[in-house]
Chains A and B, each alone.
Chain A
Amino acid sequence: MRRLPDLLLTLLAVIAAALWAFPLYWAVVTTLKPEYEVVQPGIALLPKTWTIGAYVYVLGHTNIARWYLNSFATALAVTVLVVGMSACCGYAISQLRFPGRGVLYGLILASFMVPLQALIVTHFVLMNDFGLINSWGGVVLPQLIVPVVVIVYKQFFDQIPREFREAALVDGAGEFRLFAQVFLPMNWGVTTALAIITFIGAWNAFLWPFLVASTDQAMTVTVGIVQVHDSFGVQYARNLAGAVLAALPVAVAYLVFQRRVTEAVMLSAGIKG
C-alpha cells in the first residue's frame, strides 16, 4: 500500500507538467490550422486540415527574413563580445595582481544595484550621439553590460590550483598563452553554458531593441512579430506562426543544450550545480 501515494504523486506531476506545457502545444497546433478552423467553437486538439499556409503568409508578407538576420547578427555579436571581454577581465581579476583590482571587482559587484531599465533614456541619448539609432551597433552596445559573466569566470578561474599556473610560468609561457591555452580550455563547459544563455538573452531582449530599432529594416524578430500582430488584426494562425518562427532558435538551442542551459541559469544566479 506504500506504493499508492507515490504513484498518485507521480501522476499529479505528469498532469501538472502537461497542463503547464499545453499553451505551447495549443499555439503550435493553431498555426497548422486554416483560419476558419481556428475560430471554430470547441477544442480540436489536431487540425482537420493540416496546412502551413500561415507560415507561408508570414514569410511572404512580412520582413521576417530581415528581422531574423538582425536578430542573429546582434545576438551573436553580444554573445561573442560579452563572453570574450568577461573571460579576459575575469582572468585578470582572478590571476593577476595589479593596482585597482579590488576597486574594479567592487564596482562590478555594485553594478547589480543599477537596473538597466533605468538607463534607457541615457542609453538612447548616447546611441543617438554615436549615430547608431536603427543600426546593429545601437542594438548591441547597451546589451554588453552583463557583469555576472565576469563574476562567474572569476569564481571558476579562482578554483584552478596554483600549481597549473606556476608550472606553465616555469615553462616560460606568458599570461596570454596561459589564459588561452590552459585556463580557457579547462573551463570550456562554463564558456559554452554562458555563451548559450547570453545568446538566448540577447535574442529575447525586448525593451531596448524595441526603443532603438523601430524601423522595419532595423528591428529584431522578437520585436517584429508584434508588428505582424498589429497589421493582421485578428488572424491568430498568422500571429502565432510569427511567434513560433521567433521562438524556434531559442527553443531548439534549449532542447539541444538542455543541461548546459540549466547549468548556466544556476551559475548566473549564484548557485553552483
Chain B
Amino acid sequence: MRAGDSAGAHRARRRQRLQALVLVAPFCLAYLVLFIYPTLKMLQLSFTSAPLIGDGAFVGLANYRRLLIDHLFQESVFHTGYFVLLTVLPTTLLGLAIALMVTRLRGWLQSLVLACFFLPYILPVTVVTLIWQWLLDLQFGIAQHAIRLFDGDGVAVFKNPAWAMPMVAFVTIWWTNGFNVLLFIAGLRNISPDYYDAASLDGAGRLQRFRHITWPLIWPVTALVLTIQLILQLKIFDQVYLLTQGGPFNSTYVLVQVIYRQAFVLNHGGYGATIAVVLFAIIAVLSVLQYQVLRVRDTP
C-alpha cells in the first residue's frame, strides 16, 4: 500500500468491495447450495449405506468394492463406451461435411438448408424419441422401407440387441448434429479467402484445397467439437431411457441409468452416489483435457 493513500481512496475501495459482494451474492449463494454442497454430499454419501431419503451407516469403501463385482455397472461402462464410439467421431465428421456443403451456399438458400439441419437440435428429447419410434415402428414405420434393404422382414430395432445401440446413436446424431454444423461453419468463416484464391491461382483442385488449406486450418475447431462431444455423450441417459429402457437384455444400459436405477428404483442412495462419483471422475479428467485443447486454441 502506498503511503499517499488517502482516507477517501480507502473508503472508495471499501465501497467497491461491498458493491461487489451484493452483485455476486445471489450467484454465490445458488452455487454454494445447489452445486458445491451437493457435490460434497455426493462424495460423503458414497461412503454410506443410505437409502435415497434418510441417513445410512458409514460403510467405508464397501460401495467402491462392490463396483468390482457389479456386472450391470461394468456392462454399463462398456455400453457407454460403445455409444461414445458410435457417436463422437461420426457426428464430428458428418458435422464438418455438412458445414462444408452449407458454406458454399448463399443467401436464403443457405439459411433454409442450415435451418433444416439445425432444427432437430432445439427440440426436446421426448419429441425426438417419439418421432423416431414412429418412423421405426416395425409395422407402420416409414424407415422400415430402408431397413428392409438390409433385412428383408424389417427389424424391431429397439428390441434387437444388435440394432438397439447403433439406432440410439443414429437418433442422437440426427438430433444433435446441428450444433457441430454451427461450430464448423463459424470456423470455416474464419479462414481467409486469400488462401483459397492463392491456391486457385496455383491450379489446386477442390480436394487439394481441402487437404492443404481447410483441414489444417479447421483442425482446432475439429478438436474442440471432438472433446465437447466426448464429454456430452458420456452423460447419455435420456434417449436410451426413452427408446430402449436399457434393454433388450440390458444391452443398452448406460452409466447414468445405473445411477438412476440404484438411487431411484432400488432406493440405494449411497451406492447410487458411488456410481455418480465414478461418472464425476471420468468427466473431470476429460474436462482437464478439454481445457488444454481450448487453451491451445486461444494462443495463436
Chain A residues close to B by CB (< 8 Å): 5-6, 9-10, 12-14, 16-18, 20-21, 23-24, 26-27, 30, 38-39, 41, 43, 81, 84-86, 88-89, 91-93, 96-99, 101, 104, 107-109, 111-115, 117-126, 128, 141-142, 144-145, 147, 150, 174-176, 179, 200, 203-204, 206-207, 211, 222-223, 225-226, 229, 234, 236, 239-240, 242-244, 246-247, 250-251, 253-255, 258, 261-262, 265-266, 269-271, 273
Asked if residues A17 and B125 are in contact (CB atoms below 8 Å), the reply is no
A115 pairs with B235, CB closer than 8 A: yes
Give the Cβ gap from B7 to chain A, nearest Cβ, in Å. Answer: 18
A203 to B288, CA, bound (A): 30
Q: Give the distance to chain A from B146, nearest Cβ to Cβ, in Å.
A: 11
What is the minimal beta-carbon distance from B204 to any residue of chain A, in angstroms? Answer: 14
The answer, yes or no, to whether B62 is at the interface (CB within 8 Å) is no
Could you tell me if B37 and A126 are in contact, using CB atoms closer than 8 angstroms?
Answer: yes
A261 near B42 with CB under 8 A, answer no
- The answer to whether B118 and A262 have CB atoms under 8 Å apart is yes
- Tell me which residues across on chain A come within 8 A of B283, comparing CB atoms: 113-115, 118
SS class, residues of chain A in contact with chain B: helix
On whether A118 and B277 interact (CB within 8 A), knowing A174-B19, A240-B134, the answer reads: yes
Closest 8 CB pairs of A and B: A17-B116, A89-B27, A98-B20, A122-B38, A92-B23, A21-B116, A118-B276, A113-B284
Dominant SS at the B interface?
A: helix
Q: Closest Cβ of chain A: how far from B45's Cβ, in Å?
A: 7
Enumerate B119-139 residues with CB–CB distance to A below 8 Å: 119-120, 122-127, 129-135, 137, 139
- Proximity string of chain B (253-280) to chain A, C-beta cutoff 8 Å, 1 when within and 0 when not: 0001001100110000100110011011
Task: Write the chain B residue with the least CB distance to A149.
Answer: B27
- Cβ-defined contact, A21 with B119, below 8 A: yes
Partner-A contacts on B (CB < 8 A) = 13, 16-17, 19-21, 23-24, 26-28, 30-31, 33-35, 37-39, 41-42, 45, 52-53, 98, 101-102, 104-105, 109, 111-113, 115-120, 122-127, 129-135, 137, 139-140, 142, 145, 174, 179, 182-183, 186-187, 206, 221, 224, 228, 231, 234-235, 237-238, 242, 256, 259-260, 263-264, 269, 272-273, 276-277, 279-280, 283-284, 287-288, 290-291, 294
12 contacts between A and B (CB under 8 A): A9-B101, A107-B31, A114-B39, A115-B280, A121-B272, A122-B41, A204-B124, A226-B129, A250-B122, A251-B119, A258-B111, A269-B224
Q: How far is the CA of A63 from the CA of B21 in the complex (A)?
A: 44
Closest to B37 in A: A126
The reply to whether A39 and B23 contact each other, CB–CB distance below 8 Å, is no
Check if A222 sits within 8 Å of B182, measured CB to CB.
no
Check A27 against B41 for contact (C-beta < 8 Å). no
In Å, the complex CA distance between A226 and B126 comes to: 7
